[in-house]
Amino acid sequence: MNDTSTTIRYATRPSVLGTLLVAASGKGLVALMFSDDADAMTLEFLHRFPGAMPAGRDSAFVAIVDKVAAFVENPRSGLDEPLDVRGTDFQKRVWNALLTIAPGETASYLDIARQIGSPGSVRAVAQACGANPLSVVIPCHRVVRSDGGISGYHWGVEKKRELLRREGVA
């Protein structure tokens, strides 16, 4: 018997930030990735989620992908899709803290480390942000350096800057 709650399906489509990859299980979204190199991104995704299958032309899945693409275009619009978050306990603590950063606001890596009760783990917080499979939905792009500067982003600093611009952050 096939357990559809653990089966991961994915689809790609063009977006304002390059090719968008959306993946979901029966429980919710597991990944939202974007890149100018669709092949490399898909390989990275399949390495992280082996056994994931293309969704094909499933109209319900296409509707979810379209909804996610609209959210990427306008992150202030919100997204009401359920999530199936997969990571270590530490990563999940960091990602839950990121969910408290409102659109148009930012926090530093140190702020997040303090919020999760681990002020000495700034580098580990940055690594958890880099490992976040649900870009934009779990808003790692809202995390900046302590001086307010924009630093590394898994998908490139220019994409981070563009997401912040779309949210009204100067």
3-state secondary structure of 9: strand
Using DSSP, state whether 75 is helix, strand or coil.
helix
156 Cβ contact partners less than 8 Å away, ≥ 6 residues apart: none
Burial code of 14-50, b = ≥16 C-beta within 10 A, e = fewer? Answer: ebebbbbbbbbbeeebbbbbbbeebeebbebbeebbe
* Residue 140 known to be catalytic: yes
Question: What is the full DSSP assignment across 122-166?
Answer: HHHHHHHHHT-SBTTTS-GGGEE-TTS-----TT-HHHHHHHHHH
Of the residues 140, 143, 144, 163, only one is catalytic, namely 140
Residues that are catalytic: 140
